[in-house]
């Protein structure tokens, strides 16, 4: 057999190994992209929760302020 014919066959395991490595790189890259997307979604949910908590806090502060404002007539009744 000619030596030039045997050389491509000898390099075949390298090609297959390179394809396996390339496949692993793409698979891991896809996992990383999914993790980034999940993190962004989680951050958006946390942002909405924070905004909701701020609105609730403001409403409670207003309610407490109203409760603290005693009408003068009522204040006279409470004084001994």
SS3 80: coil
Q: Is the pLDDT of residue 6 over 70?
A: no
Is residue 28 a part of any domain in this protein? yes
Task: Read off the pLDDT band of 1 (50, 70, 90).
Answer: very low
Cβ-based neighbours of 78, under 8 Å, separated by 6 or more: 70
Is residue 30 a part of any domain in this protein? yes
Cβ-based neighbours of 70, under 8 Å, separated by 6 or more: 78
Range of 29's domain? 11-78
Tens of pLDDT, residue by residue over 20-77, are 777 777 776 666 666 667 777 888 888 999 999 999 999 999 988 887 887 777 767 7
Distance CA 57, CA 53 (A): 6
**Total domain count for the chain?**
1
Contact predicate 78/70, CB 8 Å:
yes
Task: Tell me what pLDDT residue 40 has.
Answer: 78
Q: Is the pLDDT of residue 11 over 90?
A: no
């Amino acid at each position: 057999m000619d030596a030039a014919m045997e050389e491509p066959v000898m390099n075949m395991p390298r090609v297959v190994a390179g394809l396996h490595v390339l496949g692993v790189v793409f698979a891991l890259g896809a996992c990383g992209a999914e993790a980034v997307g999940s993190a962004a979604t989680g951050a958006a949910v946390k942002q909405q929760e924070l905004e909701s908590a701020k609105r609730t806090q403001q409403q409670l502060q207003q309610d407490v302020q109203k409760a603290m404002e005693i009408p003068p007539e009522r204040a006279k009744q409470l004084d001994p």
